[in-house]
Structures are given as structure tokens and as C-alpha cells.
Amino acid sequence: MPVLFFSLLLSVSQPARSIDGLALSLGDIRGEGWEARGVTAELVLDGAAPSAVLRIDGLRLSAVPDETLSDISIRCPVLETGPRWRCDQGSLKAAPWRGQALAGRVEAEFDPATGALALELEGLSLAGGQLSLSLRGDARGWTLELEGRDVDAAQAGALAQALGIGLPYEVRGRLDFRALAAGRGARPRKLTLSLQARAFAFSDATGRQAGEGMATTLKARLERKAQRWEVGLEADLKGGFLYLEPVGLDLERWPARLQGTLALEEKGGLVIERLLWDQPGVLKLSARGRIEPGIQAAVAAANRLAWPQNVQRLMASVPELELKVEEARLPGAYESLLQPWLYGTPAGELEARGLFSARLQVREGKLAGLDLALDDVDLRDGENRFEVRGLSGSLAWAPDAVERRAWIRWSGGSFYRLSLGGARLEFKGKDSRFVLAETAEVPILDGSLSIDSLEFEKPGLPGMRWHFDAVLTPVSMPALTRALGWPQMAGRLSGVIPHVNYAGGELSVGGVLLVNVFDGDITVRGLRLLRPFGRVPELMADVRVKGIELERLTRTFEFGKIEGRLDGRIQGLRLQNWKPVAFDARFETPPGDRSRHRISQRAIDNLTSIGGGVGGALSRSYLRFFEEFPYDRLGIACRLEKGVCRMDGVAPAPQGYYLVKGRWLPPRIDIVGYNRRVDWAALVARVKAAIETGGPSIR
């Protein structure tokens, strides 16, 4: 427009030396990318210095054909007409556009001989703030400087959309900025931007990228070279919250600084020559590499997957990357950066403290190297399933045949309420396989787990497997039952634990677990645990009971006194979230048992309250005269399916089954069960009530 203005004045001024003024009506004028309607120019020569006015009824840009600036006038009260044309103290005014009053001060200079142009526009009220513009141009190129003060970001975003400048975000807040562009012809070659944002907020249409209440300072430099833009970037992020799915950054608590040298390729790829992120209390990180076009789609796809598939999906769009975590502090780094990727895994809900550092390499979309160092880390599962204290270690991994060493140690911890002592494990490995270098001892309560072998394959990756062989040296049952909050039991828990394997989310034990308790033995075989740290773990096993002394058992649980021995089995035991959902169980007096068989009145009361009835030669009215009764055999069976127990006893009885079968000699007592189908939850409630209250009294 300034070139048009001075060109029109030049065309009318040459024959105007002997007249007071001249007006020229040019109608409509078109140029590359623009169109002006109703153009008129006036030159006034009756004063000490010439003055001029350019009027345009409507101005339209080809890029935004639906938008028109109307009633434009540029006034120059003092026009210098020497070798260079110069307008001082000029003004620009136009009809309001989208609620914006367009008016400002203009100064301009034009050299007809060289085509050099200089334009200054100040005091323009736009988007709730003040804007100024400076334009310089000649045959060698042009520069444009735009400065804004206290600009309303929401209004500016709406005006940009109206001008066809598509913004990927909805924005709010107040902005101060200074932008400088330089180029030749229609294309810029260099861009610099300095911006300060206050109470700034943004969001994309999906809500996957958003910020709120941010105070940001940004400096950016862009220069076009060959087929790409080279970018220099500095940003200080203070206050508010930044969310880039799935990562959320609390910038009020932990401000951050970003520096980088990047390159934006014409096809959309991003080359990271140097990137530094410094967020004291959370993370200090550096990166370099290359990212393919479509990374946003890859992030969105990764967010729909669980660990580690989500990370693999993301890496597929990263042909080359070296990421160095110089220092990460917990809990900040965990809550902000790690936890969003770990939801749904055993590490998804942790309380964390300590430091770690890492170095990660990606080549051709695959993990090519990982170094990890832990320094005095404390971790506790939010559901109290496990805890580890003072965790330190070092790992160096690469997918090659070079043998590397790794180690890990901790000062203490717990696993499902079981106290663990400190230990150190040394590993050696190559490719994706790590093997325990020497036997390790892990204290458990007052015993220990001696690990003879431990092997990992593909740790943290799909197809991860591990296996170990160990021996559990005796753990006292009093210590175990106290830790678990159970009634105190005598005895020991020990066993050889060979061939413990984990693969595909399933933990299996190939050996036999032996529990010595109540002067008898309990053996566990075929132990399998699905999703051990998942939301709904599932356990399966077969259990055998041999020679349990009933007096010790019933005394422990305050059930009433029963003397004798007990054998039993639980086949097809299946627990979901540690609650029984299926099994086939039978417990009974061993054949040929020669021990003393006696049952107290309180035990009889409890058995009858659970579901039995008293029968035999002795009337219920005379039970109160005897404290104990002899019996021949006792037993109970339950096959649990779909919440219902199919009940049985030690022998058939009229209309039912014997839970306790008395001897022939008086005083004889029989306890008979009549219900073959019993609700499991109701049965458990009855047993619990019998133990807690001692059962009803029979009078």
C-alpha cells in the first residue's frame, strides 16, 4: 500500500507545479495477492509544503477473500517531494473491522530511483492492545518488524483465524511480543520472535494438549536453509500447569527452562540437533535425534496402549534419538513424566523418593541402548503390595554380544506385609539376557530366601521372561502369622522353590512348597499366579494336608477343642483378587488314625451353627451335662462353583451326611449336615461368626 501511495503521488505531481492541487481517480487496482477498489489520490500544493491523501473504498487479500478492509484513508499533512518522497506525521484510518477500530500514526519514505521503501505505523489499537509495525524494503529484500503490547491472546487468535492463519489451539491470556521477519519476494527467509505471556492458557480441540495459568517467556529464531527451517529456541515456563498427553507438568511447583537447536524439514520431519530441558526438582535432560512426520498421531495411538507397547509405538516414529537424563528427582519426575506411561502396571501407583539418571538410544525405531543408575530410591506401592527402601543400582544394556555387568541393592522392604531385609544382587548379561552372577541371600522375616539362579530376558519389553531357583530357609509360623495379621500358629514354613518362571503375565512354580504347621505338613504344588501385580491377580494351586493336629489348630482359632489328626486336599484351588472362586476340597480323619478322638461342647456348638444338626443316641437336652465327647471320625467336603458349595461329610447319614460320626459307646454324639448346597459367602460368614463369638450355647 505505501508503494501504491507514493507511485500515485509521483504520477500526478510532475505536471502539477503551477496549480494548487490535483485529484486522480483510479477505480480498481489489482496486484499479486491483493485487490483495491475505489482508489483515489489527492495532492494539495497551496501551502508551504505539499500534502496528500490516499483513499481506498475496499482492500481485499487473495488469501482471505471473505474479509475486506473498507473506508481506508492515509493522510500525509507534510509531504517532502525531493529526490526521496517522505511523509511525516501521517495517519491511517479505516472502518472498524471485526470490532477493531483501525487507526494509527504513519511515517513513510520512498525512493523512486531505487524503489526503496520505509514505513512506520504506530499506535494501532488491535486485539485489546497496542501494535506498531516497521517495514523496510528495496531490490535486495525486505524486513518487517511487528511489536505488540498487552495484546489479548483470545482476540488475536480470532483475528488470525479470520485472516486465514490456522491456529491449532484455542488461546487466552495477555501477550507482549516483538517479531521480526526478513525475506525476498513473497517468502520470508528469517524470523525472530520474543514473547512474554501472562495468565496464558491454550488447548487443542481434543484436550490432549493444554496449558492453564502459565507465565511464559519465549525467544525463537528461524532461518530457512535449503529445504528446511533451522530453529533456535529458548523458553522459561513459570506458573500454571502444562499438559501434553499423557504428561502433565506442574510449573507452579517446578518451573522449567527449555533450550534447543532444531530443524523443521519441508516434509514435516524434525531434526533435534540439541535440546536441553532443566526443571529443578524434577528433571535435567538433553536430547538429539530425528523424529518422523506424524509424531502427534503416534503419541495419540500410544496413549491407547499399555506399557510397554505404548513406548514401542512411540519409538516407531523416532528413527534416531539419544536421550540423556542427567538427573531425575523423585517424586517429581515420577508424578510428572513416568506415571502417565505406567498406569495399569505394577508401577502405576507408587510413592517415590530418590534420584536416578539414564541414557537411552533409539535407532531405526528400536531401542539400541539403555544405561540406568539408581541412587537411594524409596518406592512404595499405593495398595501396600510391596515396598523397597534405599534402592541403588547400575545397568548398561545394548542388543549386542558384549558382556556387561549390572548390580542392584536395597536396605529393606516388604512384599505383601512380609518384611524383607537388605540384599545385593550382581548380574552379568549380553544382548537381552541377564543372569545372576553369584548366589544371593534375601532375608524374609526370621528366615531367608537363598537365590541360586535368576535370569531375565527382555526386561521391560514385550516377551519379557524371567526365572529363578531358590531355597526358603525356615520362617517361623508365629512371625509369619503376626505379619499377616492371622491368629498365631506354631510351626515353620520352608521349602525348595525350583523353576519359578514368569512369562506372558503368568508366574508359575515348578517345585513343591512345604509348610510345617500344627505338627503336620501342608504341601503346595502347581502354583501359578496370573497378573501378580495387576488389579485382579489370580492364583491357582493344588494343596495337600497331612497329619495336622486338630487340638493345636482349634486352639489357635478358638473354635473349641477337638482332638485327633486331620488329612485333606484342595484340588483346583483358584483365587481371584485373593478370594476363593473355585476348588474341590475334602478334610477328614486319616484312615487308621490311633490318636485320641475327643470333641468339646463348644466345638459341637460351632459345627452345628455352621450347618450341622445334633443326632444319635444322646438327646440335645442332656448335652449340657458333658464337656467332651468321643467320636469315631469327622470330615467335611466342599466343591465350590459359581459361589455355591456342594457339601458332603465323612459318611452318608439318613437324609444327609455325617460331619462328626460318634462311637458306639455312650455318650455318643453325631453331627449331621442336611444342606447339600450352601451359599459360599454365607458359609464363610457363619465360620467367622463362630470363631469370633464361640457359637450359640445349647441348653
Which residues touch 425 (CB under 8 Å, ≥6 apart)?
407, 408, 409, 436, 440, 451, 454
Instruction: For residue 24, tell me if it sits in a domain.
Output: yes
What total of structural domains would you count in the chain?
3
Tell whether 691 and 573 lie within a shared domain.
yes
In 3D space, the residue among 152, 143, 107, 145 whose CA is nearest the CA of residue 125 turns out to be 152
Q: Per-residue confidence at 693, pLDDT binned at 50, 70, 90?
A: low
Q: In the prediction, which pLDDT does 16 show? A: 45
Q: Per-residue confidence at 145, pLDDT binned at 50, 70, 90?
A: very high
Q: In the prediction, which pLDDT does 615 show? A: 46
Q: Per-residue confidence at 408, pLDDT binned at 50, 70, 90?
A: very high
3-state secondary structure 42-90: EEECCCCCCEEEEEEEEEEECCCCCCCEEEEEEEECEEEECCCEEEEEE
Tell whether 678 and 620 lie within a shared domain.
yes
Residue pLDDT, tens place only, 200-252: 999 988 888 899 999 999 999 999 988 888 999 999 999 899 998 888 889 99
Instruction: For residue 386, tell me if it sits in a domain.
Output: no
Instruction: For residue 170, tell me if it sits in a domain.
Output: no
* 698: pLDDT strictly greater than 50: no
Domain boundary among the residues 535, 561, 583 is at: 535
* 696: pLDDT strictly greater than 50: no
3 state SS of 143: strand
Range of the domain at 42: 1-126
Tell whether 506 and 542 lie within a shared domain.
no
Radius of gyration of the chain (CA): 42
Tell whether 48 and 114 lie within a shared domain.
yes
Domain boundary among the residues 535, 559, 593 is at: 535
Tell whether 531 and 619 lie within a shared domain.
no
Tell whether 560 and 476 lie within a shared domain.
no
Tell whether 522 and 541 lie within a shared domain.
no
493/221 Cα distance (integer angstroms):
69
Instruction: For residue 355, tell me if it sits in a domain.
Output: no
Tell whether 570 and 526 lie within a shared domain.
no
Percent of the chain's residues with pLDDT above 90: 35
Bridge partners for 495 per DSSP: 472
Domain boundary among the residues 126, 151, 167 is at: 126
pTM, entire model: 0.70
Tell whether 518 and 638 lie within a shared domain.
no
Highest mean pLDDT among 329-338, 352-361, 379-388, 525-534: 352-361
Instruction: For residue 283, tell me if it sits in a domain.
Output: no
Tell whether 541 and 505 lie within a shared domain.
no
Residue pLDDT, tens place only, 83-125: 888 888 889 898 888 888 888 898 988 888 887 888 888 988 8
More confident residue, 365 or 396: 396
3 state SS of 145: strand
* 186: pLDDT strictly greater than 90: no
Residue pLDDT, tens place only, 491-546: 777 777 878 888 877 888 887 888 778 888 999 998 998 877 667 788 999 999 99
The chain-wide mean pLDDT, for the chain, equals: 84
Q: In the prediction, which pLDDT does 119 show? A: 83
* 617: pLDDT strictly greater than 60: no
Tell whether 666 and 551 lie within a shared domain.
yes
Tell whether 559 and 517 lie within a shared domain.
no
* 612: pLDDT strictly greater than 60: no
Instruction: For residue 504, tell me if it sits in a domain.
Output: yes
Instruction: For residue 298, tell me if it sits in a domain.
Output: no
Instruction: For residue 231, tell me if it sits in a domain.
Output: no
Mean pLDDT is lowest, of 281-290, 402-411, 684-693, for 684-693
- Backbone torsions φ then ψ of 367, nearest 5 degrees: -65, 125
